[in-house]
Amino acid sequence: MSELRRDPIGGRWVIIETSHPDKPTDFDYEEGRFRSGTCPFCYGNEAMTPPEIDSFRELATSKNSPGWKVRVVPNKFPVLQVEGDLDRRGIGIYDLSNGIGAHEILIETPYHAKDIPDLSNNEVESFISMYCRRALDLVKDKRFKYIMIFKNYGPAAGASLEHPHTQVIALPMVPKNVMEEIKGAHNYFEYRERCLFCDIIRQELQEKERVVLENAYFLAFCPFVSRFPFEVWIIPKKHSSYFCHIPSEDIPFLASILKDLVTRVKKIFPGVSYNYIIHSSPINGDGSTEGYHWHIEFMPKLTRVAGFEWGSGFYVVPTPPELAAKYLREASA
Amino acid sequence: MSELRRDPIGGRWVIIETSHPDKPTDFDYEEGRFRSGTCPFCYGNEAMTPPEIDSFRELATSKNSPGWKVRVVPNKFPVLQVEGDLDRRGIGIYDLSNGIGAHEILIETPYHAKDIPDLSNNEVESFISMYCRRALDLVKDKRFKYIMIFKNYGPAAGASLEHPHTQVIALPMVPKNVMEEIKGAHNYFEYRERCLFCDIIRQELQEKERVVLENAYFLAFCPFVSRFPFEVWIIPKKHSSYFCHIPSEDIPFLASILKDLVTRVKKIFPGVSYNYIIHSSPINGDGSTEGYHWHIEFMPKLTRVAGFEWGSGFYVVPTPPELAAKYLREASA
Q: Would you state the pLDDT for residue A287?
A: 58
Q: Would you state the pLDDT for residue A308?
A: 63
Q: Reply yes or no on whether the pLDDT at A215 is more than 90.
A: yes
Mean pLDDT of chain A: 92
Mean pLDDT of chain B: 92
Q: Would you state the pLDDT for residue A204?
A: 97
B37 touching chain A per CB within 8 A: no
| % of chain B residues with pLDDT over 90 | 69
Report in angstroms the alpha-carbon separations of A66 from A40, A70, B164: 13, 11, 54
Annotated catalytic residue, options A165, A279, A293, A295: A165
Those of residues 114-173 in B touching chain A at CB distance below 8 A are 148, 150-152, 155-159, 167, 169, 171
Residues of B in contact with A21 (CB under 8 A): 318-320, 323
Q: Would you state the pLDDT for residue B333?
A: 57
- Domain-located, residue B261: yes
- pLDDT tens-digit profile of B305-314? 766 676 677 7
Tell me, yes or no, if A165 is annotated catalytic: yes
- Domain-located, residue B16: no
Q: Would you state the pLDDT for residue B306?
A: 66
Question: Cα(B226)–Cα(B329) distance, rounded to whole angstroms?
Answer: 17
- pLDDT tens-digit profile of A201-212? 999 999 999 999
> Which run of H or of E encompasses A136?
helix A121-138
Residue of A nearest to B9 (CA): A184
Smallest Cα distance from B60 to chain A, Å: 36
Using CB atoms, pick whichever of A21, A306, A317 lies closest to residue B14: A317
A81-91: average pLDDT: 90
Residues of B in contact with A30 (CB under 8 A): 271
B119-133: average pLDDT: 98
Q: Would you state the pLDDT for residue B208?
A: 97
- pLDDT tens-digit profile of B268-280? 999 999 999 999 9
Q: Is the dihedral of CA B46, B47, B48, B53 positive or negative?
A: positive
Q: Reply yes or no on whether the pLDDT at A218 is more than 80.
A: yes
Q: Would you state the pLDDT for residue A27?
A: 83
- pLDDT tens-digit profile of B16-49? 888 888 888 888 777 667 888 899 999 999 999 9
A38 touching chain B per CB within 8 A: no
- pLDDT tens-digit profile of A260-297? 999 999 999 999 999 999 999 999 886 556 789 999 99
Q: How confident is the model at residue A129 (pLDDT cuts 50, 70, 90)?
A: very high
Q: Would you state the pLDDT for residue B20?
A: 84
Q: Reply yes or no on whether the pLDDT at A333 is more than 70.
A: no
Smallest Cα distance from B127 to chain A, Å: 19
- pLDDT tens-digit profile of A95-124? 999 999 999 999 999 999 999 999 999 999
- Domain count of chain A? 1
Which distant-in-sequence residues (6+ apart) come within 8 Å of B246 by Cβ? B132, B236, B240, B254
CATH, residue B208? 3.30.428.10
- Domain-located, residue B228: yes
pTM above 0.90, yes or no: yes
Q: Reply yes or no on whether the pLDDT at B145 is more than 60.
A: yes
A139-167: average pLDDT: 93
Q: Reply yes or no on whether the pLDDT at B6 is more than 80.
A: yes
Query: What is the interface size between A and B, counted as CB pairs within 8 Å?
Result: 285
Q: Would the CB atoms of B314 and A226 count as touching at under 8 Å?
A: no
Question: Cα(B131)–Cα(B329) distance, rounded to whole angstroms?
Answer: 28
Q: What is the 3-state secondary structure (H, E, C) of chain B?
A: CCEEEECCCCCCEEEECCCCCCCHHHCCCCCCCCCCCCCCCCCCCHHHCCCCCEEEECCCCCCCCCCEEEEEEECCCCCCECCCCCCCEEECCEEEEECECEEEEEECCCCCCCCHHHCCHHHHHHHHHHHHHHHHHHCCCCCCCEEEEEEEECHHHCCCCCCCEEEEEEECCCCHHHHHHHHHHHHHHHHHCCCHHHHHHHHHHHHCCCEEEECCCEEEECCCCCCCCCCEEEEECCCCCCHHHCCHHHHHHHHHHHHHHHHHHHHHCCCCCEEEEEECCCCCCCCCCCCCCCEEEEEECCCCCCHHHHHHCCEEECCCHHHHHHHHHHCCC
- Domain-located, residue B25: no
A30-39 exposure pattern, b = at least 16 Cβ within 10 A, e = fewer: eebeeeeeeb
Using CB atoms, pick whichever of B94, B169, B175 lies closest to residue A313: B175
- Domain-located, residue B246: yes
Residue of A nearest to B33 (CA): A304
Maximum distance among all Cα pairs of chain A, rounded to whole angstroms: 58
Annotated catalytic residue, options B163, B165, B279, B295: B165
B148-171: average pLDDT: 92
- Segments forming the whole domain that contains residue A316: 3-330
Q: Would the CB atoms of B226 and A14 count as touching at under 8 Å?
A: yes
Question: Cα(B112)–Cα(B115) distance, rounded to whole angstroms?
Answer: 8
- pLDDT tens-digit profile of B204-255? 999 999 999 999 999 999 999 998 999 999 999 999 999 999 999 999 999 9
A7 touching chain B per CB within 8 A: yes
CA Rg value for chain B: 20
| % of chain B residues with pLDDT over 70 | 96
Using CB atoms, pick whichever of A15, A24, A176 lies closest to residue B316: A15
Using CB atoms, pick whichever of A9, A26, A30 lies closest to residue B181: A9
- Domain-located, residue B27: no
Q: Would you state the pLDDT for residue A136?
A: 97
B187-200: average pLDDT: 92
Smallest Cα distance from A58 to chain B, Å: 32
Q: How confident is the model at residue A28 (pLDDT cuts 50, 70, 90)?
A: confident
Q: Would you state the pLDDT for residue B163?
A: 97
